[in-house]
Amino acid sequence: MPIVQFTPFSSLVQPGFWHELTSLKIDVLRLSDEALPITGSYSVGRSINDRETGNEILLGCNLSVGPESFDNSAHPPSGAFVAKGHFKNYNTIEEFKAADKSVLFTQEAEKIWESIIAKRETSSLSNFLLITYADLKKYKYYYWFAFPAFAAKPAWEIDEPGWKLASDELTNESLSSIHAQLRATPLPFFLVRSGVEIAPVESYSTFFADVPPAEQTIGFVDPSASPASPGWPLRNLLAYLHALYPTTSSSVRVLCWRDAEVPAAGAPWKSRFGVVHAAPPAADAQTKPSAVGWEKNPQGKLAPRVADLAPMMDPTRLADQAVDLNLKLMRWRILPALDLEKISSTRCLLLGAGTLGCYVARTLMGWGVRDITLVDSGRVSFSNPVRQPLFEFEDCLEGGKPKAQCAAARMKKIFPGINATGHTLAIPMPGHPVPPALVDQAREEVKRLEALIDAHDAVFLLMDSRESRWLPTVISAAKGKIVLNAALGFDTFLVMRHGVRASKVREGASQLGCYYCNDIVAPADSLTDRTLDEMCTVTRPGLASLAASTAVELLASVLQHPDGVHAGAPPPNSDPSQLIGAGVLGLVPHQLRGFLAQFRNLHIVGAAYGRCTGCSESVLAAYETQGFDMILQALNDDKYLPHLTGLDKLYEEGQKALEEVDWDVDEGGEDDF
């Protein structure tokens, strides 16, 4: 009699499985290589007809894994059956190659055998093993499946005429009854009594009691479509019977169930039937036999397979995942508590698209920020591209492109996944009166600025002049936004965060100042009557990138601190190692003043000033109650803000104090020389 040939399982990996593995590796496993439970699924063997030739084409004996395979609570597709397995991912290709695969395979086979002998269960008969290495930079996945199956000694043989149509052995009524029962109670392995009743294989002793051998049939859902060889699950089913029922399983009637649907009238049933024989094992029936089952690669060799997803993936999605990858790697060893989503979801408004604005935008992109809006009123000039990395020579031609829109477009070219927009907008400034004919235009500009600040979480003040920062400072303070300020000197810079308004300061905390809190004069016109060197931002070339990067890192530190915008500032010149209450990224200073000539930074804490023209409650209350009318008055009247905040009284008190000083002048003495 011919020896039974079994069709081995062939792995079918859905692309979604690799995407899910990528997320699992980056966000959960990280550097762990522990084995995890996994599930796959298989269904009855299928075939299709070639439309041109009409020939039947057999589909593979597939075990499929997909994105749901890592979710042990997921249900298999309709008509499919679950196969349980174990998954182990290695951190390097060297570890993957050097893994002791025989040990891993033996361990999996022992689990299957233990479930047979100790638990007398069939639920583990289709267990599998998957080992992988994921090259997440190149999107290449090396993997190797093993489907452990026990080898029978002596081998199983099949009676003539071999595997035949099930309808040649069982009646159409019997097959229809079996189909109905399997649809009502899906069983991957089952018993058939007298051709009509089915039961789980675990009921073998009681179900077949007093049943003649000719009416006992062992059935299984067969993933093979080959007419001459049943699928891989039959090997372990026969091993199960031989181990637990050696005296009654020397001859087994086998039904290979392959009918997902009842065939149409006149069409044959696809299921197969055969009678197999094997002599009882020479050794103890419960001694674990040897096992086979490593999957061969497409070249027919016992070697891993490779899935290269890079050519299949949308380049934009590749870029999106690559940006996140470099950031998420920080959480593997260095900063496990880093909340990257909190940073990437922060909507950032950059007021100023010049040297500072370009560098801030690039650094925000490096942190994975997806929503960035730039505002500027200028156009790209020939002096810009060498200092401002979002512009090129072509952007300067024909009068120059609008800076904000040009910078946003360049950011999308750098990273298509970013939501970058640009707005050309002139921000109204104190000391720059608005003529009556332009009041409506100014009103519209203020309205646009308010809408932009409303729509963002963090505002960067990156303009060239002091007075241009006033209006966004007031609006942002009133709306409770995070405000970062960066300003440049020739070889010095200032980076600071604005504190929250006085009415929002937490109990026991000190209010941090804004950009204007150190001044006792209101912002005024600093742009008129300037020489060429005063009209250009004259700084050491490396200064802007330092200040811009520092400003973005300060924002990241604020976002990662448990108190957020309320985070306290460390005392000036304090020892960081002695401080408590730092965030995930360390300290959250109030102000950083950089001195490039000395290559050092200085931490400064500036308290809020009750008469500040930018963030005092008197200014914010006037803005909230009067709106544009208050702003217009501040723009047109250089005495309005001092009067509103009480600075004018301070000036008067200072002048009066000077007048009351009794200067001691010696008018009659002679010089000592």
Catalytic residues, by residue number, are 536
The closest of 274, 46, 269 to 172, measured between CA atoms, is: 269
Specify the residue for token string 């690669």: 297
Within a 10 A sphere around the Cβ of 523, how many other Cβ atoms? Answer: 24
Q: Containing H/E element for 104?
A: helix 101-117
d(CA 180, CA 200): 15
205: its two tokens: 């002793």
Q: How many residues comprise the chain? A: 673
Specify the residue for token string 């893994």: 99
Beta carbons of 605 and 512 less than 8 angstroms apart: yes
540: its two tokens: 């050491």
DSSP state of 378: -
The closest of 615, 617, 621 to 497, measured between CA atoms, is: 615
Cα angle vertex 170, ends 166, 175, to 5°? 80
d(CA 573, CA 593): 12
CA 634 to chain centre: 46
The closest of 280, 46, 240 to 127, measured between CA atoms, is: 240
Beta carbons of 254 and 222 less than 8 angstroms apart: no
507: its two tokens: 């109990």
Give me the DSSP letters along 447-493. HHHHHHHHT-SEEEE--SSSGGGHHHHHHHHHHT-EEEEEEE-SSEE
DSSP state of 517: T
Within a 10 A sphere around the Cβ of 250, how many other Cβ atoms? Answer: 14
Measure Cα distances from 324 to 17, 27, 329, 333 in Å. 19, 11, 9, 16
Beta carbons of 538 and 490 less than 8 angstroms apart: yes
β-strands 492-497, 591-595 pairing = antiparallel
